[in-house]
Amino acid sequence: MNLRIPGPTPCPDEVLEAGAQQMMNHRGPEFAAILRRVTEGLSWAFQTSDDVYSISTSGTGGLEAAVVNTLSPGDRVLSVSIGSFGDRFGSIAQAYGADVEKYALEWGDAADPAEIARRLDADPAIKAVLVTHNETSTGVTNDLETIAREVRSRERLILVDAVSSMSSIPCPVEKWDLDVVVSGSQKGWMVAPGLAFVYMGPRAWEAYESSTMPKFYFDVKRAKTSLDKGQNPWTPAMAVYYQMDRAFELMRAEGLEGIFTRHADIGAYARERADQLGLTLVPTDRQRASDTVTAVWWPEGVDGKAISKRAREEFGVVLGGGQGKLDGKIFRIGHLGFVSKEDVQQAFDVVERLLAEQKASV
């Protein structure tokens, strides 16, 4: 199978084998060593000297942790959404009683940092900005560095969904002065689903002290207290930790710069192939097209679902579909984590062939 959805992503064999190891005492010294190495690996990938907390949940749980640990019911929040994951982040804040102002863009567009600045100036009560770094549903990467500069210069918090970007494309949390940053294990980390990673900067910890949103399982203070003892507060997804431990050896061998370059090269290649096929990218500004997932419109009159079905059944290529209102209208090719140019090449070869065949049959 050539699994080309943008998560869960394929795992290297050695990572799969590492996950098949026997269970151990999750409060014993062997697991403490694994947890320490994985936490060091996370700090390396997030480019911070602070600990990054790993919570046994999916990426969405990580987003929930970002919200409940820094905000209080009634807090004014600016939710920047350029697609379905941006909508989700805002919905979580709303569910916990935040007073959410939405800045929603057409799907395919990137957020305008100047518009975010304008809205923050217009409403000094806005305490935090929620923003998606890489919007997986549309294949658009926001200009997070510039957005963060606008938010930070106005002294508001910036909470970032970096689920499908962290470890694949640059997102240095300290250099960009981000407050809370979340990722998830099944995206660019070459391991199975089951862990979310949460970075909390100094201002986020300050906000934690006054935050009154209800929290228990996702309370980062509990994660911090336990980590200081080499433990998780609850029984963790141990097999995923075993995998992470091995995946970090592979990632460190390639190096962060090497990983970023590989993703940039493959992203450029994917866009080139879409061009060659005469297809239109979902991102309206090519400069903001993602290097971890490429989203492409099916041409008018093409039955995209039929092509995806044939790609899977006859060629073992699993394409991502469209989410929400893009269902049936686009396809997505994930290229993050354990991916080579050949994987993406084969996927586009199959799309090319099936598009030609469908055209010939009508």
Ligand X SMILES: *Cc1c(COP(=O)(O)O)cnc(C)c1O
The binder of ligand X chosen from 21, 60, 94, 231 (CB under 6 A): 60
For ligand X, give the closer residue by CB, 150 or 161. 161
Is 291 a binder of ligand X (CB under 6 A)? no
Residue with tokens 């151990």: 24
Segment interacting with ligand X (CB under 6 A) among 58-66, 98-106, 197-205, 207-215: 58-66
Own/partner contacts of 87-93, CB < 8 Å, gap of 24 or more, are: 88/60, 88/63, 89/63, 89/130, 89/131, 89/132, 89/159, 89/161, 90/130, 92/60, 92/63, 92/64, 92/67, 93/67, 93/130
Is 48 a binder of ligand X (CB under 6 A)? no
Structure tokens belonging to residue 3: 């699994």
Structure tokens belonging to residue 268: 């450029």
For ligand X, give the closer residue by CB, 187 or 271. 187
**CA 354/CA 312 separation, integer angstroms:** 11
Is 294 a binder of ligand X (CB under 6 A)? no
Encoded one letter per residue, x for contact with ligand X by CB under 6 A and - for no contact, window 175-204 reads: ---------x--x-----------------
For ligand X, give the closer residue by CB, 81 or 132. 132
Interacting residues with ligand X between 67 and 106 (CB under 6 A): 85
The binder of ligand X chosen from 131, 163, 181, 237 (CB under 6 A): 163
List the alpha helices (DSSP H) in the chain: 13-19, 29-46, 59-68, 84-95, 113-122, 144-153, 202-210, 220-227, 238-254, 256-276, 304-315, 341-361
Q: Nearest residue by C-beta to ligand X? A: 59
CA angle 187, 189, 191 (to 5 degrees): 90
Phi/psi for 297 (5° steps) reads -75, 135
For ligand X, give the closer residue by CB, 31 or 320. 320
Residue 138 Cβ, how far from ligand X at the closest point, in Å?
10
The binder of ligand X chosen from 58, 70, 138, 308 (CB under 6 A): 58
**CA 281/CA 331 separation, integer angstroms:** 10
Segment interacting with ligand X (CB under 6 A) among 143-151, 160-168, 213-221, 317-325: 160-168
For ligand X, give the closer residue by CB, 197 or 242. 197
Contact set with ligand X (CB under 6 A)? 7, 58-60, 85, 132, 136, 161, 163-164, 184, 187
